[in-house]
Amino acid sequence: MAELQGEPAALKSMQRALEAEKIHAALYAKAREAAAAGRDAEIGTVVVCQACGYTAEGEPPDRCPLCGAPRERFSKF
């Protein structure tokens, strides 16, 4: 709809959300597999871009690969 209505900012936001959710799904699958095996998931530090929701394990990148936000915009969990 965003594309049809000529809303490029909304389209970009939805595309970023979709990419972030793909990563969330992979992390969830990893945790689910571990739980099914009766163990904890071996997930290290998780970092989340506060600008777009991009999520990764380990140290934050210098720039978010989805939105370009600087490293300082990442929160660690």
Question: Considering its fold, how many domains does the chain have in total?
Answer: 1
Q: Which two tokens stand for residue 43?
A: 């997930």
The tens digit of pLDDT for each residue in 47-70 reads 999 998 899 999 999 999 989 999
- CA torsion, ordered 56, 61, 63, 67, to nearest 10 deg: -10
User: At residue 25, does pLDDT exceed 90?
Assistant: yes
Does residue 22 fall inside a structural domain? yes
Range of the domain at 49: 8-76
Q: What is this structure's pTM?
A: 0.72
CATH number at residue 25: 2.20.28.10
CA atoms 18, 47, 65, 69: torsion sign? positive
Sequence-distant (≥ 6) Cβ neighbours of residue 53 within 8 angstroms: 16, 17, 20
- Residue 3 lies inside a defined structural domain of this protein: no
